[in-house]
Amino acid sequence: MRINLLQKICLSLIVLLGCATLASAQQITGDIRGTVKDPSGAVIPGATVEITNTDQNAVLRTVKTDKDGSYVGTYLPAGNY
């Protein structure tokens, strides 16, 4: 079966568009979530959590835990924390 030039061009475009879609799905930020508990396992509401990028040795975000001891740091740049 022979593929003509127009079919080759169409197939190439489909492959390129598929790759572009995959590349656009990559994210450059992320979230960190957790719960602060004491040694007995009880949650700690109102605790201060510092989210530190260990590559830069810099605190990028400071958040407080909610009434359930949970916290979230959003839109953090990619890196090690």
Mean pLDDT by 10 residues, the chain (81 residues): 66 62 69 96 97 93 97 94 93
pTM of the model: 0.64
Q: What is the DSSP string of 7-67?
A: HHHHHHHHHHHHHHHHHHT--SEEEEEEE-B-TTS-B-TT-EEEEEETTTTEEEEEEE--T
Domains and CATH numbers, the chain: 5-76 (2.60.40)
Considering only CA atoms, which of 32, 67, 62, 34 is closest in space to residue 49?
A: 62
* Those residues with Cβ within 8 angstroms of residue 80's Cβ, 6 or more apart along the chain or in another chain: 53, 54, 55
